[in-house]
């Protein structure tokens, strides 16, 4: 070390020394030799195959399409007009390749691969969440309403045009005054037998359709949810196709659309509002698969109960909820990949016994921030795969599907939507913070992911309301009569009828039973890594919370004068029970997913990731486990130690784990990776 | 009820009935009669007075100024150019009223009210966080560097011009490769005795100044932090005034600025990068209060130790960190006010025994989301007030300030910056989610608050690094020699030297002692509402965590071969100890704040808010309290019950509590308040 180096302070000098060293010897890693990391490449492939699951081919195809065109490169386009135009260009490009056919039955002009349709829309989220939402609205929600609520006349007239984007539609359910409580929608569709038309009307300011994707600009037709009134009688909410704009994009008579303008993100989606002033549509525009109105106004339906009919209709639209959860999870995986790759390049503060600074991924606290979220992403993806399979199977059965299974699917979809979207909010936020100032620059993508995905906890059902829905199904054993009840009402019902809560295993029943039978419940630290023990803890918590929720409900309803007070007294307990149920479902799916993995090394790694997931869930609810004697005080401390231990053993595999998410490099869209301030460029460009 | 009503389904009919009722009888509230709420108006005033604290007059004046001009109305301006222009217009308007004088000594052209300067910048955050940051950079950081690191020649030349905005400056500390580790900055300032100039140079890509507010466009001069080299010797980081642009805004020779472009938010701030290629500035441009270089290159300083000098210089800049924490907290208060007022207007789902739907604020789960965050906002504001008072006192003493007190101030500032900004991230996120889809619309402001405030956890020091700094000061008993050490090094030092950790009470020492002496530690639920018991639990946890952290450090250093492994083994424990310390400081400040409140009713209410804060902190760390036998399993359950109880008793005061934050209505900037879909408009405009 000679020349000018002595003029620099020690720490700057060390950096120079390091720079020279890596020029000749390659990147040093604190945690493991380079050779070992390289061996892992193939493990990442196995992880990806495991995570991709049954619809791997669709995922691969969609990824390849997104990676192949510059039009799909992640972008930051803050201007509303430009962003919307860009999203429409992307949509047309997709449509030109027949992208949307999977979502529609072969006899309507599609290919009928429901699961594939969900997976391909989810994969769009890795490129652009505005595109994912726009595609989801056009093909999933609008197209899905026609496909699932309509009959032949609608399929013939609209499906092909919807797939091709000849017809742009929107899904007009939410109103300014009513989001979560769909049954209380105020828009009316009053049948007029004189002209054989429905009159669509917004009677109050709060009945305005609001936040509707496509309503501000692009949509020509709306699938409108409204209270059907015929012969002076309300028949509940039904769906109607209502043209809203002419070919030039002008509002049709009686229709007043407006623009929601800028939102937190999703700038490429033209959310808007619609007010109807006595807008007339032909009788045939009622999507009449589950109910019809004859020319004289006579109402008929194969489903007698108003509420059952309503929920049957809603149930066929569950795909939207499934897609939103999966897409949020996809966005979270992109964020975690970016943050992890950055943490493997970025150094800060001197390392002891080294001329180099410490890679931030080597700090335990940094590992604790990222690795549990990566583990949860793995867990949720296995659960999501299972959910999509169930959805696919039930939608293939159409009207023959078992109603009980359909209700379970809806509960599962609600729970996983909440879990996935809350996870996405947390994971993307943490990823941003873990990248410091660089994470805040738009060119590094994390803030865009955050801004775009933030509303996912709200749309397709507010997460708290959805979690409550999970509890409702569990506590009332899927009783038909509760569907139409308000939260207070169904809890009251549950209090009077609840008996034994049904527990049904989800996946890989036999493996799980074996694991449970061989569990180790002793007080040694080691047993917390035993899968059977973990499963048992998840199960026990769920069972206990559900049965005590039922008992508390009964007690509260007896004790409190006001049923609302009784409801409030147990609401958090009930939500807790539902969350515990979802956690169990997710863990079981993880276990089943590991079992499917063909490669032993990858399987072993997945096992460690599963440990981290399970222990993190226990840690987050540790006080409950201790308070209810499901965990001794000593074992509780061992949970924390176990998490740290798994962070340590997984640290050398951090890159492998995020590579397993399979995001093509061109879709990461983060300028800081390999930029100045990271190892990559320091090596390449620092002058000697 | 006649006419057309029978045509509507039951729920829509109920809504109509309600509409009529409120037209004649005013807004019904589930929780308390209207009359009682009206009485509370004056309590809100008392709360505001208590929260405003010592600099109430400055806060009031700034609020009035912001509320009086449409230029300061909250706005959503996504376009970079427009947003930057708007922020500069706001800056000039402020400057024209002599806004910035408080931050500078009377003899330099200011009024010398440091505390007032911090409070007035913090208050800007209620209007616009871009403005707050821009003002903070110009007057707090750039102006503060000149004021605190410069001497008469700098004060005379620049202070007045900085106040008046004749000179626009930026604060060029962070580099692409170094954010948290300021001592490792790579930019050099090499003294050339031949010309009596410093040569400012960026030797590597990672030495580029990055994220610098003002560097992209507006700044004409930069306060540049660089390694001073003279006579071939490095003397550590010093600050230099370097002109970077000419009057027309062109880069000066050797200076290359570039634009960071779009960020997650703060669109009105022109963050940029600066590269220096052998840029020469006169010797006099060294800010030479703490060190000087003579014409011949001889270096001198009143502070012998390089590290002590460096940290003394940094210490004088602590105001920036204090301001950032306070501003984030102000943004959180705006968000919580919006979300609470919305929850008091928005109804969803039928209420039992009522024709109306339930106000979302009446759901316990909604209360649990918002009220603890409101309580924490109260707690943090009392702590922040105390911090600003200490800062004010010490900066008034200048060089005479006690170094120990200065170090304590810095630790406190670091800890409260982390606490305030993490709180802001959580509170604003929760507020957005609590307002559903409406919360995602830019016109309702919450997403802008989120986007703008998100980076506050990162700038002026990454929160994790700052929390570590708190621990460092506590564990090394403010030892001088640790200042320059890396985290691994100082923990090693702490392990060898630590003895008894000093615990110093912060505020209202006597009251707190009395409360402690009269505490009730029995096993009854009620005692958890006892202030002395709460204080004792906070104290005990801190003491235990600090002393065990010290012991574990010693053990780990002995046991582990690699000091980095030892560091990693204890890092999370050490951070936990620091967080517990901050929690205790905040609680004590709350207690002192209550004591100052003049109104009995307001005082009583503050006491309940304080309970909610204390119990929420305990709840969040409940597993620890139980594991370490500071809380029995039964008492642990009582903590949760206590929180729910306080949510219930505070619910009728929700509006009063947020009104206590004192945000002028015109600065809420949220279109949804009193918009369609809320009680306010339904009442006024629904047609009969």
Averaged pLDDT, A112-116? 94
Residues B145, B317: contact at Cβ < 8 Å? yes
Taking an 8 Å cut-off on Cβ atoms, the answer to whether B204 and A351 are in contact is no
Distance CA A161, CA A147 (A): 12
Asked if residue B235 lies in contact with residue B306, where contact means CB atoms within 8 angstroms, the answer is yes
**Overall residue count recorded for chain B in this entry:** 688
* pLDDT the model gives residue B26: 34
The strand ranges marked E within B437-576 are none
Which among A184, A227, A676 has the least Cβ separation from residue B206? A676
Residue A435 contacts residue B457 (beta carbons within 8 Å): no
Mean per-residue pLDDT pooled into runs of 10, chain B (688 residues):
40 38 35 43 90 97 95 96 98 94 89 94 97 97 96 97 97 92 93 98 97 98 98 96 97 98 98 98 98 98 90 90 97 98 91 82 96 98 98 90 91 97 98 97 98 96 93 83 80 71 64 82 74 94 91 84 84 94 97 95 98 98 94 92 96 98 96 76 36
Tokens of B140: 């707090």
Tokens of residue A670, six digits: 């983060």
Calculate ∠ Cα A377-A382-A384, nearest 5°.
90
Taking only the tens place, the pLDDT of each residue in A599-608 is 999 999 999 9
Residues 6+ apart with CB under 8 A from B250: none
Among B8, B436, B637, whose Cβ lies nearest the Cβ of A627? B637
Q: How far apart are alpha carbons A282 and A198 in whole angstroms?
A: 6
pLDDT tens readout for residues B253-283: 999 999 999 999 999 999 999 999 999 999 9
Q: Which two tokens mark B305?
A: 């130790």
Distance from CA of B222 to the nearest CA of A (A): 19
> Between these two residues, B241 and A550, which has the higher pLDDT value?
B241
Contacts A297 to B, Cβ<8 Å: none
Cβ neighbours around B493 below 10 Å, total? 19
Q: What is the pLDDT of residue A522?
A: 65
pLDDT of residue B682: 46
CB atoms within 10 A of CB B24: 6
Q: What is the pLDDT of residues A442-465, one digit of tens each?
A: 999 999 999 999 999 999 999 999
* CB-based contact A11 B184, cutoff 8 Å: yes
Distance from CA of A167 to the nearest CA of B (A): 26
Q: Which of A206-210, A351-355, A421-425, A646-650 has the lowest mean pLDDT?
A: A351-355
Do the chains contact at A486 and B440, CB–CB below 8 Å?
no
**Which chain A residues contact residue B488 at CB under 8 A?**
349-352, 358
Distance from CA of B649 to the nearest CA of A (A): 13
Q: How far is B54 from chain A (nearest CA, A)?
A: 34
Distance (Å) from the alpha carbon of B455 to chain A's nearest alpha carbon: 6
Tell me the nearest-neighbour CA distance from B299 into chain A, angstroms: 14
Which candidate from B7, B362, B636 shows the least CB-CB separation from A234? B7
Question: What structural domains does chain A harbor?
Answer: 47-164 (1.10.540.10), 318-667 (1.20.140.10)
CB contacts, 8 Å: A7 with chain B? 190, 229, 232-234
CA A431, B420, A454: angle at the middle one, nearest 5?
40
Of B9, B78, B235, the CB nearest to A78: B78
b/e code B316-331 from CB counts within 10 Å (16+ = b): bbbbbbbbbbbbbbbb
Inter-axis angle of helices B509-517 and B531-559, nearest 10 = 100
Residue A679 has a pLDDT of 67
pLDDT value of position B42: 86
**Nearest-neighbour CA in chain B from A488: distance (Å):** 7
Q: How far is B468 from chain A (nearest CA, A)?
A: 11
pLDDT at B33 (0 to 100): 40
* Residue B180, H or E segment: none
Q: What is the 3-state secondary structure (H, E, C) of A137-199?
A: HHHHHHHHHHHHHCCHHHHHHHHHHHHHCCCCEEEECCECCECCCHHHCCCEEEEECCCCEEE
Residue A543, Cα to own-chain centre: how many angstroms?
26
| A572·B443 Cβ contact <8 A | no
DSSP label at residue B142 = I
Interface test with A, best of B185, B204, B643 (most A CBs within 10 A): B204
- B264 to A432: CB separation less than 8 angstroms, yes or no: yes
Residue of B9, B234, B439 lying closest to A236 (CB–CB): B9
Closest Cβ–Cβ partner in A262, A629, A676 for B208: A676
CB pair distance less than 8 Å for A636 and B622:
no
Q: Give contacts of B627 with chain A, Cβ < 8 Å.
A: 626, 633, 636-637
Are residues B184 and A433, on separate chains, in Cβ contact within 8 Å?
no
A446 near A410, Cβ under 8 Å? no
Question: What's the pLDDT tens digit per position in A232-268?
Answer: 999 999 999 999 999 999 999 999 999 999 999 999 9
Residues of chain A in contact with residue B352, where contact means CB-CB under 8 angstroms, are 486, 488-489, 492, 562-564
Residue with tokens 């707050």: B132
A293/A239 Cα distance (integer angstroms): 13
**B513: CB partners within 8 A, 6+ apart:** none
Determine the Cα–Cα distance for residues B465 and B629; give it in Å rounded to an integer. 30
Residue A427: pLDDT over 90: yes
- Rounded CA gap, B239 and A371, in Å? 39
Yes or no: say if B215 and B170 are a contact pair by the CB < 8 Å rule.
yes
Q: How many CB atoms lie within 10 A of CB A70?
A: 7
Give pLDDT, residue B490: 82
> Which residue of chain A is at minimal alpha-carbon distance from B442?
A263
Torsion sign (Cα): B549, B554, B557, B558: negative
Q: What is the pLDDT of residue A524?
A: 59
**Angle at which helices B633-650 and B364-397 cross, to 10°:** 90
Residue B559, min C-alpha distance to chain A (Å): 16
Question: What pLDDT does A221 receive?
Answer: 98
Contact B72, B135 (CB under 8 A): no
Judge whether residue A31 has pLDDT over 60: no
The tokens describing A490, both together, are 């169904």
User: Are B264 and A188 a contacting pair at CB < 8 A?
Assistant: no
How many Å apart are CA B391 and CA B459, to the nearest integer? Answer: 20
Q: What is the dihedral of CA B370, B427, B653, B125, to 10 degrees?
A: -160
Nearest to B462 among A350, A425, A436 (CB): A436
Q: Which residue of A has its CA nearest to B231?
A: A7
Interatomic CA distance for residues A365 and B174, integer angstroms: 23
Cβ neighbors of B620 (< 8 A, separation 6 or more) are: none
Give B610 to chain A, closest Cα distance, Å.
22
**pLDDT at position A44 over 60:** yes
Q: How far is B132 from chain A (nearest CA, A)?
A: 18
Confidence grade of residue A682 (pLDDT, cut at 50, 70, 90)? very low
Burial (0-12, 13-18, 19+ Cβ within 10 Å), B666: middle
Of A305-309, A466-470, A506-510, which gets the smallest average pLDDT?
A: A506-510
**Close Cβ partners of B578 (under 8 Å, ≥ 6 residues apart):** B415, B467, B468, B470, B471, B474
Instruction: Give the span between the Cα atoms of A290 and A300, in whole angstroms.
Output: 9
Q: DSSP string spanning A285-338?
A: GB--SS-EE-TT--EE-SS--HHHHHHHHHHHTHHHHHHHHHHHHHHHHHHHHH
What's the rounded Cα separation, in Å, for the pair B581 and B416? 10
Kindly identify which residue of chain B lies nearest to residue A188, measuring between CA atoms.
B8
SS3 B280: strand
Nearest-CB residue to B623 (from A181, A232, A636): A636
Binned at pLDDT 50, 70 and 90, residue A182 comes out as confident
Residues in Cβ contact with B39 at an 8 Å cutoff, skipping those fewer than 6 apart: none
| Mutation target vs A (from B205, B434, B577; most A CBs, 10 A cutoff) | B205
Residues of chain A contacting residue B368, judged by C-beta atoms under 8 Å apart: 572
Here the tokens at position B145 are 């560097």
Q: Distance from CA of residue A542 to its chain's centroid?
A: 22
Give how far Cα B547 sits from Cα of A56, B471, B500, B540, B553, Å. 53, 11, 8, 11, 10
Secondary structure of residue B166 in the 3-state scheme: coil
> What ranges make up the beta strands (E) of B107-187?
169-172
- For range A396-423, the mean pLDDT: 93
A contact test, residue of B492, B618, B627, B678 with most A CBs within 10 A = B627
- The total of other beta-carbon atoms located within 10 Å of residue A305's CB is 15
Interface test with A, best of B2, B174, B177 (most A CBs within 10 A): B177
- Residue A508: half-sphere exposure toward Cβ, Cα within 13 Å: 22
Distance from CA of A195 to the nearest CA of B (A): 19
CA B635 to chain centre: 33
ipTM of the complex: 0.91
**Chain B hits for A437, Cβ within 8 Å:** 174, 179, 210-211, 455, 458-459
Contact B184 A350 (CB under 8 A): yes
Chain B closest-CA separation from residue A687 CA (Å): 7
Q: Give the separation between CA A206 and CA B19, rounded to whole angstroms.
A: 12
Contact assessment for residue A87 and residue A269, using Cβ atoms and an 8 Å cutoff: yes
Q: Do B458 and A682 touch (CB under 8 A)?
A: no
Pick the residue from chain B with its C-alpha nearest to A77: B262
Count CB pairs under 8 A between chains A and B: 313
User: Is the Cβ pair B180, A348 closer than 8 Å?
Assistant: yes
Judge: B429–A432 Cβ closer than 8 Å, yes or no: no
Among A365, A433, A462, the residue with its CB nearest the CB of B436 is A462
* pLDDT reported for residue B38: 44
Of B179, B575, B675, the CB nearest to A365: B575
CA distance A28 to A56: 35
- pLDDT at residue A565 greater than cutoff 90: no
More confident residue, A616 or B679: A616
């Amino acid at each position: 070390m000679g020349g000018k180096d002595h003029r620099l302070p020690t720490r700057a000098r060390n950096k120079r020394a390091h720079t020279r060293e890596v020029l000749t010897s390659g990147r040093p890693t604190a945690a493991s030799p380079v050779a070992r990391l390289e061996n892992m490449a193939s493990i990442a492939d196995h992880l990806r195959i495991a995570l991709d699951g049954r619809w791997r081919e669709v995922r691969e195809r969609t990824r390849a399409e997104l990676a192949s065109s510059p039009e799909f490169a992640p972008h930051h386009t803050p201007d509303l007009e430009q962003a919307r135009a860009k999203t429409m260009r992307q949509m047309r490009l997709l449509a030109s390749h027949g992208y949307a056919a999977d979502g529609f039955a072969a006899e309507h002009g599609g290919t009928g691969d429901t699961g594939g349709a969900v997976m391909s829309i989810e994969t769009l989220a890795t490129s652009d969440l505005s595109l994912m939402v726009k595609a989801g609205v056009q093909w999933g929600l609008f197209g899905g309403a026609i496909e699932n609520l309509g009959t032949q006349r609608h399929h013939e007239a609209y499906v092909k045009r919807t797939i091709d984007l000849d017809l742009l539609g929107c899904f007009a359910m939410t109103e300014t005054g009513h989001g979560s409580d769909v049954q209380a929608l105020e828009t009316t569709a009053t049948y007029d037998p004189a002209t054989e038309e429905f009159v669509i009307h917004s009677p109050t300011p709060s009945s305005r359709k609001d936040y509707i994707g496509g309503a501000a600009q692009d949509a020509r037709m709306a699938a409108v949810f409204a209270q059907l009134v015929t012969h002076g009688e309300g028949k509940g909410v039904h769906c109607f196709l209502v043209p809203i704009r002419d070919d030039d994009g002008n509002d049709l008579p009686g229709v007043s659309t407006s623009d929601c303008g800028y939102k937190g993100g999703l700038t490429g989606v033209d959310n808007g509002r619609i007010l109807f002033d006595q807008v007339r549509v032909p009788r045939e525009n009622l999507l009449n698969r589950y109910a019809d109105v004859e020319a004289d106004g006579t109402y008929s339906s194969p489903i007698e109960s108003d509420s059952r009919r309503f929920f049957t209709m809603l149930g066929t639209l569950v795909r939207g909820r499934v897609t939103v959860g999966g897409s949020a999870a996809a966005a979270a995986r992109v964020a975690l990949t970016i943050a992890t790759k950055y943490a493997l390049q970025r150094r800060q503060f001197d390392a002891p016994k080294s001329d180099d600074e410490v890679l931030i991924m080597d700090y335990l606290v940094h590992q604790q921030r990222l690795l549990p979220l990566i583990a949860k992403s793995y867990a949720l993806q296995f659960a999501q795969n299972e959910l999509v399979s169930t959805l696919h199977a039930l939608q293939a059965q159409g009207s023959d599907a078992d109603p009980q299974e359909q209700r379970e699917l809806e509960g599962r979809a609600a729970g996983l939507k909440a879990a996935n979207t809350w996870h996405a909010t947390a994971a993307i936020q943490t990823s941003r913070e873990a990248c410091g100032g660089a994470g805040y620059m738009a060119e590094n993508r994390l803030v865009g992911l955050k801004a775009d995905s933030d509303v996912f906890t709200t749309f397709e059902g507010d997460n708290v309301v959805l979690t409550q829905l999970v509890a409702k199904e569990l506590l009332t054993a899927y009783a038909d009569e509760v569907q139409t009840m308000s939260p207070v009402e169904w809890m009251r019902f549950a209090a009077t009828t609840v008996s034994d809560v049904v527990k049904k295993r989800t996946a890989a029943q036999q493996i799980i039973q074996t694991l449970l039978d061989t569990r180790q419940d002793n007080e040694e630290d080691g047993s917390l890594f035993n899968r059977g023990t973990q499963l048992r803890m998840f199960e026990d918590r769920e069972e206990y919370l559900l049965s005590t929720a039922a008992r508390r409900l009964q007690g509260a309803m007896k004790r409190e004068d006001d049923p609302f007070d009784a409801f409030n007294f147990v609401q958090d307990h009930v939500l807790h029970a539902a969350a515990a149920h979802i956690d169990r479902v997710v863990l079981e799916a993880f276990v089943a997913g590991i079992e499917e993995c063909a490669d032993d090394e990858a399987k072993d790694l997945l096992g460690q990731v599963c440990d981290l997931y399970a222990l993190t869930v226990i840690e987050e609810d540790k006080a409950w486990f201790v308070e209810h004697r499901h965990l001794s005080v000593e074992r509780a401390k061992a949970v924390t130690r176990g998490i740290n231990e798994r962070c340590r053993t997984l640290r050398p595999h951090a890159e492998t784990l995020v590579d397993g998410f399979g995001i093509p490099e061109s879709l990461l869209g983060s300028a800081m990776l390999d930029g100045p301030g990271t190892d990559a460029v320091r090596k390449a460009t620092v002058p000697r």
